[in-house]
């Protein structure tokens, strides 16, 4: 089945108000037919869309199914289809096992996993109207190695990876492609709050270009920077006893602060 060239595609991008999402806007708009951008902050989206004739703002909270459905229906009514969905929106909060907070897990799972599920559910009918619809969702390289304090974030991203891999299998027979995006550390307002070393951290602009390169090829696993993600993959493949020695060395005993935000 034919794949539409990027310059003919209608693309829906969530989590577009900051971080990787904001960096994707100028990179995508110059390459696609029309880009619809979504996040909660309408003012931030409007500022980012300013000057681009092929970028449309549609604000929504990805944890709100009704709002996402309204955006998807708007896109369908205007363009008749969605060619590519980039489900980028996400958040991160770190766990303090001395003050275990179950509400933190719900917040992170609601945004990172259920928010993705709601977005996909809203987009699927219109992706099916494309010649060959394409779904790309944001996971994380942390899924290859269970990191201290990342119980909530890592679990949400592991659920995302499993969901997208299963969707790739089920949607293959409909001629639809699915990719999982797994960044390492990217310099964003979210990671700026981190209080630990971030090896191999790259700019959001470099991350955006790496994502677009993967989208153009429609590979399942879009991960970057490879000098970092390949090390994590190797560590994750070690026997459990060795993995635990590595992650125990990373763990802390003191109380730590949490980090949260709209995008990675």
How buried is residue 197: exposed, middle or buried, by Cβ count under 10 Å (0-12/13-18/19+)?
A: exposed
CA distance 261 to 89: 9
> CA 95 → CA 17, 193, 243, distances in Å?
25, 14, 20
Orientation of helix 240-250 relative to helix 226-236, angle to 10° = 120
Query: Hey, CA dihedral for 33, 119, 109, 219, is it positive or negative?
Result: negative
- Among residues 94, 118, 134, 153, the one annotated as catalytic is 153
**Torsion angle (degrees, nearest 10) of CA 112, 186, 16, 163:** -30
Q: How many CB atoms lie within 10 A of CB 195?
A: 9
Of 108, 24, 102, the C-alpha closest to 38 is 24
52: annotated active-site residue: no
> CA 196 → CA 18, 100, 126, 206, distances in Å?
21, 20, 42, 22
Could you tell me if 202 and 225 are in contact, meaning their C-beta atoms sit under 8 angstroms apart? yes
Catalytic residues: 153
């Amino acid at each position: 089945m034919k794949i539409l060239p990027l310059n003919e595609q209608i693309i829906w991008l969530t989590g577009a108000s900051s971080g990787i999402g904001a960096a994707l806007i100028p990179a995508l708009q110059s390459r696609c037919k029309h880009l619809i951008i979504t996040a909660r902050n309408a003012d931030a989206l409007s500022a980012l869309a300013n000057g681009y004739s092929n970028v449309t703002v549609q604000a929504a909270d990805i944890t709100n199914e009704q709002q996402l459905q309204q955006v998807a229906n708007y896109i369908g009514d205007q363009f008749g289809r969605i060619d590519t969905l980039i489900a980028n929106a996400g958040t991160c909060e770190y766990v303090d096992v001395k003050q275990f907070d179950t509400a933190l897990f719900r917040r992170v799972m609601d945004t990172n996993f259920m928010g993705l599920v709601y977005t996909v559910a809203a987009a699927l009918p219109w992706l099916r109207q494309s010649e060959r619809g394409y779904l790309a969702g944001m996971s994380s390289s942390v899924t290859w190695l269970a990191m201290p304090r990342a119980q909530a974030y890592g679990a949400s991203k592991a659920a995302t990876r499993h969901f997208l891999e299963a969707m790739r299998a089920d949607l293959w027979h409909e001629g639809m492609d699915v990719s999982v995006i797994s960044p390492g550390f990217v310099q964003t307002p979210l990671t700026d709050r981190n209080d630990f070393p971030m090896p191999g951290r790259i700019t959001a602009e470099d991350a955006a270009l790496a994502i677009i390169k993967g989208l153009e090829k429609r590979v399942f696993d879009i991960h970057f920077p490879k000098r970092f993600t390949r090390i994590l993959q190797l560590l994750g493949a070690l026997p459990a006893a060795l993995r635990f020695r590595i992650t125990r060395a990373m763990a802390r005993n003191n109380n730590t602060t949490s980090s949260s935000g709209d995008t990675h």
